[in-house]
Amino acid sequence: MDWAGLIVNVAAIFIGLAIFLGIINSKWGKEHQDIQYFIMLVAVLAACVIAGVLRLLVGMVL
């Protein structure tokens, strides 16, 4: 089983959630609650990019 990949995927989920909650709880996020789904999409895409970089780094180390 690809444990490193699994750990990176779980980390990406939590990173995306943290990005989303950080934006939504900010002053700007509270002012723009009408575009919450767009903010969620951006947070998920950012988490995917971060996960890709983490996979690259983990692949280099292992």
Question: Could you give the CA distance from residue 42 to residue 48 in angstroms, rounded to a whole number?
Answer: 10
Here the tokens at position 39 are 């903010």
**Per-residue pLDDT, 27:** 95
**Per-residue pLDDT, 35:** 93
Sign of CA dihedral 19, 21, 22, 27: positive
Long-range contacts of 55-59, Cβ-Cβ distance < 8 Å, separation of 24 or more: 55/5, 55/8, 58/4, 58/5, 58/8, 59/4
- Taking the chain (62 residues) in runs of 10, the rounded mean pLDDT of each run is 81 90 93 92 91 83 69
pTM of the full structure: 0.78
**Per-residue pLDDT, 38:** 94
- Torsion region of 26: left, alpha or beta (phi above 0 gives left; psi -120 to 50 gives alpha): beta
